[in-house]
């Protein structure tokens, strides 16, 4: 099978570009002297994670216990579940550990630490640090950081270290701001680790990361590992942040033109929001790509065309600036194929049961992915 | 199993409310003297469609050929594929028809009509009419309506009729405007049918519909069937449009509180945008619910709380007005369960492989759904 024979919509992976993305991140981490623990929530695909491991990654990060189970069953045994643990999930975590999975959990509150300790099992635990006000975590200077650490350690849990995710980096778009955020993420997380150690508590690991900060950090002193996910594919949000070019986006959606509204300058495709996802991550960025940037069937951007609107199974392609393309039906004729670059690779990929992975020769291999919880 | 034992996030269906939604729509269509052909893209679940059929629905509408194949294999043989056909999809359509599926396709251009005729098979075809400028379709007064009809009929296709979808109804929120849009959808589609008939072409079927117009139409003279999808569950967008109340939403996402940022008035849950979907359909409406409206574990809305922001597996719950809830950790303690009402049921449901369907006694039954193309 080759690309032109695929049923559309289809999720395409450009294998060569994905490998370049993997190599780029791995070589950066090697140069900075830290381990790379990829976040597999982006691909949810064993074959992708195997490529990351072959390139030098050590361990994986997951966002659900289903990911943990699926990847453990496929031979990944060093797993960080990077979402604050709920007491009701300790049973499944314990079951995976008892099967041999080195599954580490995360807490950021006394309530969660007490629940972990109350279970009586020697869980491996990291404390989540809030280094950017973005989401979860204990701020590095809070008194309760030490209280939580002591509760875990004295209660019989294995206090493995601290972890943070500077999600606020997604809102930046200059080298200077990204480098500053990477340094903030590093320094605040290292500071939290130093406070725990000064209190006599163990803290061997300092885990930080997001794709923008990982690709922007100038030094990672005191950090032991970096987590990043979306870099494996890249996307339009990352292009707007400034950490990749459009030609470094390895994931796209193959679509077919099914109609036109010529007076409006619209081409309609069979890739609506069910295929692209509802993610509008570029809406608040410098360049709004609607539901995606339009490329021709070979992957070359068709300048100025975006998916300006979408229904469930219809995409509306038009010029970004709102002008009416006078010859849309000639430029994008019915039956022609397009590749649409996604705003957010994690969201778009999640809409597909299978990736169509193509190589330089145009041959296509299906790679399965999973979803749900 | 009962609700409190479910792993979270989970997609809950309140079976009694769903049945009331089904009965409400069916009784309206019965009173208006038209058939109801539900759009199964909302649920993608055989058990849901079976309930619709038991209540009186005749035939189904699908948005993908995968839906057509799955439902045909389960005994639904009268199917309208309501997305403009691409030439590359004619082979799979023909294969389903040759297996006995009465699968009807849709065209809205000469190019598509010619491709259908060129295939040489006697497809059953409807012409899509644009009654609201929203998406696809031929406007009822265009010359090419007749040309397309004649091309199909003379070329050997079975011209089954006209169909339209007034998607613009989602942007309305007054009874008067909804009734006017329903009448516009009806009258323009009937007008297109009359033009085809006046030209000597067959046009037995006139198919219209969207949930808002179906629930607002005062008369449907000349219409033979109505298509609607989201009414089966309802959602916050429909509540803002004004065609259901919050207590008529049958789909919700069960979530667990996993942390707080008390200074910000935030509770964090394990239902992020992967569970809710990225749909922000209420963003442009009168009442913006963020990523969903927050209810307690029994389904009663907790006034003023919404999912104000979301990451992949984290939901951030806070007050809608932006004020800081001073006692968030006491009101929504760690480990407590919440039900989140979705902006858009079609998008949220699509994130889950299985529905957890509960009855009045609290018993829970899993209903499978499918996804992809």
Phi, psi of B301 (to 5 degrees): -55, 135
Q: What is the C-alpha to C-alpha distance for residues A31 and A127, in angstroms, rounded to an integer?
A: 27
Predicted local distance difference test score (pLDDT) of residue A361: 83
- For residue A5, is it within any domain? no
Residues B218 and B173 in one domain: yes
Of A188, A211, A234, which one is at a domain's C-terminal end? A234
- For residues B245-252, give the mean pLDDT: 98
Predicted local distance difference test score (pLDDT) of residue A362: 79
Residues B51 and B192 in one domain: yes
Q: What is the C-alpha to C-alpha distance for residues B128 and A332, in angstroms, rounded to an integer?
A: 20
Predicted local distance difference test score (pLDDT) of residue B356: 98
Residue A168 neighbours by CB distance under 10 Å: 18
Residues A309 and A351 in one domain: yes
- For residue B64, is it within any domain? yes
Rg (CA), chain B: 22
Residues A166 and A39 in one domain: yes
Predicted local distance difference test score (pLDDT) of residue A4: 83
- For residues B93-115, give the mean pLDDT: 98
Percent of chain A with pLDDT over 70: 100
Residue of A nearest to B368 (CA): A372
- For residue A240, is it within any domain? no
B318-345 pLDDT, tens digit each: 999 999 999 999 999 999 999 999 999 9
Decide if pLDDT at B36 tops 90: yes
Residue of B nearest to A108 (CA): B259
* Alpha-helical regions (H) of chain A: 15-32, 46-54, 65-73, 90-98, 110-119, 143-154, 175-198, 211-214, 236-241, 273-276, 328-331, 345-349
Strand-strand pairing, B251-261 and B337-341? antiparallel
Residues B157 and B83 in one domain: yes
Residue A278 is nearest to which of B279, B352, B354, comparing CB atoms?
Answer: B279
Write out chain A residues lying below 8 Å of B314, CB-based. 83, 135-136
Q: What is the C-alpha to C-alpha distance for residues B285 and B52, in angstroms, rounded to an integer?
A: 29
Burial A309-328 (b: 16+ CB within 10 A, else e): bbbbbbbbbbbbeeeebeeb
Give A4 to chain B, closest Cα distance, Å: 10
A13-58 pLDDT, tens digit each: 999 999 999 999 999 999 999 999 999 999 999 999 999 999 999 9
SS3 at position B289: coil
- For residue A133, is it within any domain? yes
Predicted local distance difference test score (pLDDT) of residue B313: 98
Strand-strand pairing, A251-261 and A337-341? antiparallel
| Burial class of residue A300 (count of CB atoms within 10 Å of its CB; 0-12, 13-18, 19+) | exposed
Predicted local distance difference test score (pLDDT) of residue A133: 95
The ipTM estimated for the assembled molecules is 0.97
Decide if pLDDT at B1 tops 80: no
Choose, out of A312, A344, A371, the residue to mutate when testing the contact with B (most B CBs < 10 Å): A312
Q: What is the C-alpha to C-alpha distance for residues A20 and A26, in angstroms, rounded to an integer?
A: 10
Q: What is the C-alpha to C-alpha distance for residues B224 and A311, in angstroms, rounded to an integer?
A: 25
The closest of B211, B210, B198, B205 to B223, measured between CA atoms, is: B205
Q: How confident is the model at residue B361 (pLDDT cuts 50, 70, 90)?
A: confident
| Cross-chain residue pair A353–B334, CB shorter than 8 Å | no
Give B278 to chain A, closest Cα distance, Å: 5
Residue B64 is nearest to which of A63, A277, A313, comparing CB atoms?
Answer: A313
Residues B156 and B277 in one domain: no
| Cross-chain residue pair B85–A136, CB shorter than 8 Å | no
The pTM assigned to this predicted structure is 0.97
Predicted local distance difference test score (pLDDT) of residue B362: 79
Predicted local distance difference test score (pLDDT) of residue B4: 83
Predicted local distance difference test score (pLDDT) of residue A176: 98
Q: Are B244 and B60 in contact (CB under 8 A)?
A: no
- For residues B227-248, give the mean pLDDT: 98
Q: What's chain B's average pLDDT?
A: 97
Residue B278 is nearest to which of A87, A277, A371, comparing CB atoms?
Answer: A277
- For residues B185-198, give the mean pLDDT: 98
Residues B175 and B302 in one domain: no
DSSP state letters, B190-219: HHHHHHHHHTT----EEEE--HHHHTT-S-
Q: What is the C-alpha to C-alpha distance for residues A309 and B272, in angstroms, rounded to an integer?
A: 24
- For residue B170, is it within any domain? yes
Rg (CA), chain A: 22
Tokens linked to B59 = 């035939």
Q: What is the C-alpha to C-alpha distance for residues A250 and A20, in angstroms, rounded to an integer?
A: 9
- For residues B42-53, give the mean pLDDT: 98
Decide if pLDDT at A92 tops 90: yes
Q: Are B352 and B44 in contact (CB under 8 A)?
A: no
From residue B232, alpha-carbon distances to A252, B21, B111, B248 in Å are: 33, 6, 35, 10
SS3 at position A223: coil
- For residue A215, is it within any domain? yes
Residue of B nearest to A346 (CA): B312
- For residue A196, is it within any domain? yes
A181-198 pLDDT, tens digit each: 999 999 999 999 999 999
Q: Which domain holds residue B211?
A: 15-233
Q: Are B94 and B116 in contact (CB under 8 A)?
A: no
DSSP state letters, B118-159: HH-S--EEEEEB-SSSSSS-B-TT-HHHHHHHHHHHHTT-EE
| Cross-chain residue pair A86–B8, CB shorter than 8 Å | yes
B144-172 pLDDT, tens digit each: 999 999 999 999 999 999 999 999 999 99
Q: What is the C-alpha to C-alpha distance for residues A159 and A152, in angstroms, rounded to an integer?
A: 7
Decide if pLDDT at A365 tops 90: yes
Contacts of A97 (CB under 8 A, 6+ apart): A103, A121, A123
The closest of B303, B338, B306, B302 to B320, measured between CA atoms, is: B306
Tokens linked to B209 = 């519909």
3-state helix, strand, coil in chain B (%, to 5): 35, 25, 40
Residues B187 and B297 in one domain: no
Residues B55 and B190 in one domain: yes
Contacts of A339 (CB under 8 A, 6+ apart): A12, A252, A253, A254, A255, A294, A295, A296, A297, A298, A299
Q: Are A153 and A207 in contact (CB under 8 A)?
A: no
Q: What's chain A's average pLDDT?
A: 97
Residue A259 is nearest to which of B63, B108, B258, comparing CB atoms?
Answer: B108
Write out chain B residues lying below 8 Å of A260, CB-based. 109
Number of domains in chain B: 2
The owner of tokens 């639904």 is: B76
Residues B228 and B359 in one domain: no
| Cross-chain residue pair A314–B372, CB shorter than 8 Å | no
Residue B120 neighbours by CB distance under 10 Å: 11
Of A173, A208, A234, which one is at a domain's C-terminal end? A234
Of A234, A254, A270, which one is at a domain's C-terminal end? A234
- For residue A6, is it within any domain? no
Predicted local distance difference test score (pLDDT) of residue B81: 98
Give A137 to chain B, closest Cα distance, Å: 8
Q: Are A121 and A165 in contact (CB under 8 A)?
A: no
Residues B195 and B257 in one domain: no
From residue A21, alpha-carbon distances to A333, B31, B178, B341 in Å are: 33, 60, 50, 38
Residues A270 and A193 in one domain: no
Quote the DSSP letter at residue B324. Answer: P
Let me know how long chain B is: 373
| Cross-chain residue pair B312–A89, CB shorter than 8 Å | no
Give B334 to chain A, closest Cα distance, Å: 7
Helices A175-198 & A143-154 angle (0-180, nearest 10): 50
First vs last C-alpha separation in chain B:
32
Give B372 to chain A, closest Cα distance, Å: 5
CATH number at residue A304: 2.40.37.20
The closest of B86, B188, B45, B105 to A314, measured between CA atoms, is: B86
Write out chain B residues lying below 8 Å of A114, CB-based. none
DSSP state letters, A118-130: HH-S--EEEEEB-
Partners of A234 in the beta sheet?
Answer: none
Predicted local distance difference test score (pLDDT) of residue A113: 98
CATH number at residue A82: 3.20.20.10
DSSP state letters, B4-21: GGS-SSEEEEEHHHHHHH
Residue B39 neighbours by CB distance under 10 Å: 27
Q: What is the C-alpha to C-alpha distance for residues B125 and B105, in angstroms, rounded to an integer?
A: 5
| Cross-chain residue pair A334–B112, CB shorter than 8 Å | yes
The owner of tokens 């005062």 is: B218
């Amino acid at each position: 099978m080759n690309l032109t024979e695929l049923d559309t919509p289809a999720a395409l992976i450009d294998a060569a570009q994905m490998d370049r993305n993997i190599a780029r991140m791995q070589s950066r981490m090697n140069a900075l002297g830290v381990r790379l623990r990829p976040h597999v929530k982006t691909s949810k695909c064993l074959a992708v994670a195997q490529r990351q491991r072959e390139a030098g990654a050590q361990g994986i990060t997951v966002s659900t216990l289903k990911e943990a189970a699926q990847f453990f069953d496929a031979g990944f045994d060093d797993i960080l579940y990077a979402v604050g643990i709920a007491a009701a999930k300790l049973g499944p975590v314990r079951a995976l550990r008892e099967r041999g999975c080195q599954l580490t959990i995360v807490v950021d509150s006394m309530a969660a630490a007490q629940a972990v300790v109350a279970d009586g099992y020697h869980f491996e635990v990291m404390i989540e640090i809030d280094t950017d006000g973005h989401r979860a975590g204990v701020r590095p200077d809070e008194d309760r950081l030490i209280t939580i650490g002591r509760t875990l350690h004295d209660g019989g849990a294995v206090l493995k270290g601290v972890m943070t995710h500077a999600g606020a980096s997604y809102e930046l778009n200059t080298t200077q701001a990204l480098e500053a955020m990477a340094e903030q993420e590093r320094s605040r997380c290292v500071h939290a680790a130093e406070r725990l150690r000064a209190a006599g508590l163990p803290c061997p690991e300092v885990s930080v990361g997001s794709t923008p900060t990982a690709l922007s950090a100038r030094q990672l002193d005191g950090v032991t590992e970096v987590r990043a996910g979306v870099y494996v594919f890249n996307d339009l949000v990352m292009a707007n942040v400034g950490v990749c070019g459009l030609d470094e986006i390895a994931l796209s959606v193959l679509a077919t033109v099914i109609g036109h509204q010529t007076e409006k300058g619209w081409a309609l495709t069979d890739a609506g929001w069910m295929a692209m996802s509802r993610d509008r991550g570029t809406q608040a960025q410098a360049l709004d790509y609607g539901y995606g940037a339009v490329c021709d069937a070979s992957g070359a951007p068709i300048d100025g065309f975006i998916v300006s609107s979408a229904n469930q199974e219809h995409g509306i392609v038009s010029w970004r600036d709102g002008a009416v393309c006078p010859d849309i039906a000639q430029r994008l004729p019915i039956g022609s194929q397009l590749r649409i670059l996604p705003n957010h690779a994690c969201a778009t990929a999640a809409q597909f049961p299978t990736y169509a992975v193509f190589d330089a020769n145009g041959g296509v291999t299906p790679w399965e992915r999973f979803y749900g919880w």
